[in-house]
Amino acid sequence: MEIQVSAFLASLQAQPAYSDSTRLAYANDMRVFLTHLKRTLRRPPELADFNQAQIIGFLEFESQRGHRLNTLLRRRATLRRFQAFLSESDELTAELPELDWERIDRSLVSLPPPHPTKCLTNDQIAELLTVMETSPRPRARRDQAILLLLLETGLSVGALTTLNLADLDPSSGKLRVVLDDQSDRWLSLGEAAEALARYLKEARPELNTHADEQAFFISQMDGRMSRQGIWQILRHWGLMHEPPILLSPRLVRHTAALRMARADRPLEEIQHLLGHSNPLSTQALIRRLEAACRDQAETNPEKPIRIGAHE
């Protein structure tokens, strides 16, 4: 197989569409795959060894080594591109084993993550909102709105900080957002609508001292909130919880993804909101979240989250 791999890598050099970094990534993936086969087979790998069982075994081994899903997906893409190269050769076509990529993909997304994926329970969310509710400070109203909006939409911190007042359509209960891929989308506010309206009425006027400021969320220092500011406020409220929670945008976003999946939101929609380029990444994340949070789900069934004073 080493001869075919060398020919494959040489063919990439003749294609200007591939960057040097892409060629290096392909070469590294194929080197790692060949090394795995040599170690497993204890002999030089042959073309017949480029089969479904060996590919699944390789990806499982890479997962056990601690590689994240993005790395595994890149390895898979390289192997699939190698198969396409081999298929273009009439001399080799008859020797190629048939590969069921759907089965390989199912195996891939079912692999356990190198580090457990976590999410917030309904009780934790309710307790965080209660702690915020007891604070009389304007920032607490803002932070309630931020937390509920993140839980409702799964937005990234970057997308959240770019929001402007003009992006809100109160009549329809929707918010226009620019996602990480720079595409526009109108999102339903759902359970976050009331908290956002309350923030705009009670808190934003006190936080903002500039009449022409268009930023939706205002920092304590006045002006548009930064990504670091979002991180800091989540961490602050997580430490206020008893027991403390290491509250981060990642944890909140994972919780949002699980909530959206349980609400039967389309996989493609969740993928787009999370900024995943590959639907397998979204599918695998949801499976990991379901496995990690299954016990929580049994004892904390999903139900609407409400601010106590407004139920």
Residues in the chain: 311
Burial of 296 (0-12, 13-18, 19+ CB in 10 A): middle
Q: Collapsing DSSP states into helix, strand and coil, what is residue 186?
A: strand
Q: Which domains does the chain have, with CATH numbers?
A: 2-109 (1.10.150), 122-310 (1.10.443.10)
What is the pLDDT tens value at each position of the chain, 311 positions in all?
A: 888 899 888 888 888 777 888 889 899 999 999 999 998 888 999 888 898 889 998 998 888 777 777 888 889 999 999 988 888 876 555 567 788 888 888 888 777 665 555 888 888 999 999 999 999 999 999 999 999 999 998 888 888 999 999 999 988 888 998 877 777 889 888 889 999 999 999 999 999 888 888 999 999 877 899 888 899 899 899 988 888 888 888 899 999 999 999 888 999 889 988 888 888 888 888 888 887 776 554 444 444 434 333 33
Q: For the whole prediction, is pTM greater than 0.75?
A: no
What pLDDT is attached to residue 22? 86
| Per-residue pLDDT tens over the stretch 23-33 | 898 999 999 99
What pLDDT is attached to residue 170? 85
What pLDDT is attached to residue 116? 57
What pLDDT is attached to residue 287? 86
Handedness of CA 8, 13, 17, 21 (dihedral sign): positive
What pLDDT is attached to residue 95? 66
**CA 95 to CA 270: how far, in whole Å?**
40
Buried b (16+ CB within 10 A) or exposed e, 179-199: beeeeeeebebbbbbbbbebb
Token output for 75? 């390895």
What pLDDT is attached to residue 146? 96
Are 225 and 215 spatial neighbours (Cβ–Cβ below 8 Å)? yes
Nearest to 178 by CA among 167, 188, 192, 170: 167
What pLDDT is attached to residue 300? 47
Burial of 201 (0-12, 13-18, 19+ CB in 10 A): exposed
Q: Give me the residues paired with residue 185 across strands.
A: 177
